[in-house]
Structure 1
Amino acid sequence: MTMTFITAEQINQITKPHQLIDKLQNAFASDIETPLRQHYDIPNPDSSRETTLLMMPSWQVGKDIGVKLVSVVPESYKYKLPSIKGVYVLIDAKTGQVKAMLDAPSLTAKRTAAASALASRFLSDPNSKSLLMIGTGTLSSELIEAHCAVRPIKQVYVWGRNHEKAHQIVKRTAHLSVNVEAVSNLDDAIGKVDIISCATMSITPLIKGSLLKPGQHLDMVGAYRPDMREADDQCLLRSRIVVDNYQGALKETGDLAIPLKNNVIKKEKIEADLFELCREQKHFERNNSDITFFKSVGHALEDLAAAQLIVEKLRESA
């Protein structure tokens, strides 16, 4: 077996949102085993924030083993580099041979966006036609495309602290059959849309719960550390909350860890995770007036499933 390195360009060409969303839904209902990921914050003397090292293993007995090694450097823009860098290793579980190595940032972006779209299948209004994208990083265009794959989105607004970067996202999503425009006033945009997707490294809340309207769905993807927040307390108090996985979401993100610590909400406020929804252990029925809140912290199962799909599609096209 020859080991293949799969580049970001190949991943972007091969991966289709609908296929990956379906793959993740099946994976969350499968027998894939995933221990808690290892998360280390390492001092970075040339930055105001630590460098984060993530090691994320997952395996399917008798089939594949995968592990992702990722570094997160929030201020890497100073070096004109992306904030997330790393590699994914896919190993044959029977023979121990390395089947493929994949570019981790592009793999992560694709699977993260697909997980958000999967959650939207369960939680958002099926007739959602408008989306607000908060954040202008690598994930933004992926999230827009994934949400458009599962809901009849016609209008997308993009907001970021750097308005020029918001315009870049507009250009990057020009191939989609939707109207995408950059906006400068976040508060005004919040009340205009059916779905709000947020992917930032903010340490202070960007979304004010007082501005939310009944029927909205919040897709919270950023704030990956316990000291980061994208949504204020009112967002949580007004919403029905679902997470991708309980184990990580309850302690890794400030969006939940801080209000839980401050007794703003109780653990019982979180109604389900994607494992329970995909395995049909819980059924989520929304009312028209419900505000739904999905918090994603990432799960190694998603990486393994995405890597398996990419390797499969690459071999089909060879």
Structure 2
Amino acid sequence: MIILTHDDVADLLPMHEAIEAVETTMKQVSLGTAALPLRSVTPVGGDNRMGLMPGAIAEPACFGVKMISLFPGNPARGLSSHRGAMVLFESETGGAVAMMDASLLTAIRTAAASAVATRALARDAASHLAIVGTGEQAEHHLDAMICVRKITRLSIAGRSAEKAAAFAARATRLYPDLDISHGTDIEAAIASADIVCTVTASPTPIVKGAWVASGAHVNIVGSSIPTMREVDDEMVKRGDIWVDYLPSTLAQAGEIVDMIKAGTFSADQLKGEIGAHLSGEIPGRTSPDQITIYRSLGIAAQDLAAAHHVLTRAQAEGRGQNVSF
């Protein structure tokens, strides 16, 4: 088994490569070649949770499990809110071949998935990006969006003006040509944006559908359990929604679960899985004024594709620590 650290993952999984790996596996998911049990979540005290995400994919042939903890208070300590390990197995003999840091792997593959959907659904000329949230996912989503669209303007909104300013400063250092604004006013940030990414840990809606401009593309990313939701009912009603995996959407996307239970939305109103669109099975954007939404929950297939990519590069470059059992 090869043990790979946070730094190894950072070096071996650049965003542009992660995007291609995730796009390939999302097509497989919608073709039915992946085995994806729903994420199980265990409370571990207070607002903290541990999640287990097993799965298997056919190409590249591998299976594995991500063991990840979600501690919302970690950013205040200078730590990622998601910490854990990804264990990858090979399919020929069932051996465990790699274990790697899961926090950065999760952050990169999540942003890469949003980029895949944005490349497929956002208008070609989209150039104004709004990010709601100022944490780790915000930074990776900025990198990912820049990979798939020519972003010239960035609007940042967060609960803390200080954190929004700090994120803006980091973004300026990385992308000095961007026109960047920041603050706590979410409505102002997204009002004229072409692409909106919501990447917060808010348990209740903080983004209203009425605020989104016609023709915008929205990536709803931050909430991954049914008791959390970042967007209101109007967002669901105004936009056309593609998802990563229908079974998890119907079980774990808070706004979808709530509205189906209330009888104000039905599963057949979802456009379908993004992989089905990428494979040409279902249409994508049909007009410039259409609001397109990608509802991201994150699935094990994305972790497996990203982890296999990291392992392949590690083996080729002699990275990681080899251990035997």
Distance in 2 of aligned mates of 1:98 and 1:69: 14
Q: Does 1:33 align with 2:20?
A: no
Which letter does structure 1 place at the counterpart of 2:92? K
Q: Corresponding residue for 2:129?
A: 131
Q: Is the 8 A contact 1:32 1:301 kept in 2?
A: no
Which letter does structure 1 place at the counterpart of 2:41? Y
Structure 1 segment 89-104 matched on structure 2, within 5 A:
89-104=87-102
Q: Corresponding residue for 2:144?
A: 146
Structure 1 segment 288-303 matched on structure 2, within 5 A:
288-303=288-303
Structure 1 segment 102-121 matched on structure 2, within 5 A:
102-121=100-119
Q: Corresponding residue for 1:17?
A: 15
What whole-Å deviation, never above 9, does each CA across 1:190-249 have from its counterpart, x for those lacking one? 212111100111122111122221111110001111121111111111111111110101
Which letter does structure 1 place at the counterpart of 2:97? K
Q: Is the 8 A contact 1:26 1:278 kept in 2?
A: no
Which letter does structure 2 place at the counterpart of 1:300? A
Distance in 2 of aligned mates of 1:235 and 1:144: 22
Cα 1:28–1:55 change in 2 (3 A) is: closer
What whole-Å deviation, never above 9, does each CA across 1:8-43 have from its counterpart, x for those lacking one? 122122222222211222222237422223412325
Which letter does structure 2 place at the counterpart of 1:132? A
Distance in 2 of aligned mates of 1:54 and 1:200: 21
Structure 1 segment 241-260 matched on structure 2, within 5 A:
241-260=241-260
Q: Is the 8 A contact 1:52 1:71 kept in 2?
A: yes
Q: Is the 8 A contact 2:37 2:53 kept in 1?
A: no
Q: Does 1:281 align with 2:270?
A: no
Partner SS, residue 119 of structure 2 = helix
Distance in 1 of aligned mates of 2:50 and 2:255: 18
Cα 1:19–1:137 change in 2 (3 A) is: same
Which letter does structure 2 place at the counterpart of 1:282? I
Q: Is the 8 A contact 1:61 1:93 kept in 2?
A: no
Q: Corresponding residue for 1:42?
A: 43
Length-normalised TM-score, structure 2: 0.90
What whole-Å deviation, never above 9, does each CA across 1:227-285 have from its counterpart, x for those lacking one? 21111111111111111110101121212111221122111210111231232211213
Deviation at 1:110, TM superposition (A): 0.6
Q: Is the 8 A contact 1:62 1:94 kept in 2?
A: no
Q: Corresponding residue for 1:170?
A: 168
Structure 1 range deviating more: 147-156 or 35-44: 35-44
Structure 1 segment 50-69 matched on structure 2, within 5 A:
50-60=48-58, 63-69=61-67
Which letter does structure 1 place at the counterpart of 2:257? A
The count of aligned residue pairs is: 313
What whole-Å deviation, never above 9, does each CA across 1:146-189 have from its counterpart, x for those lacking one? 01100111111111112222223224333235333422321111
Distance in 2 of aligned mates of 1:38 and 1:293: 22
Q: Is the 8 A contact 2:87 2:96 kept in 1?
A: yes
Length-normalised TM-score, structure 1: 0.92
Partner SS, residue 57 of structure 1 = strand
Cα 1:62–1:294 change in 2 (3 A) is: closer
Q: CA RMSD in A?
A: 1.9
Distance in 2 of aligned mates of 1:121 and 1:219: 12
Q: Unpaired runs of 5+ in structure 2?
A: 319-325
Deviation at 1:61, TM superposition (A): 7.6
Cα 1:285–1:43 change in 2 (3 A) is: closer
Partner SS, residue 132 of structure 1 = strand
Q: Corresponding residue for 1:83?
A: 81
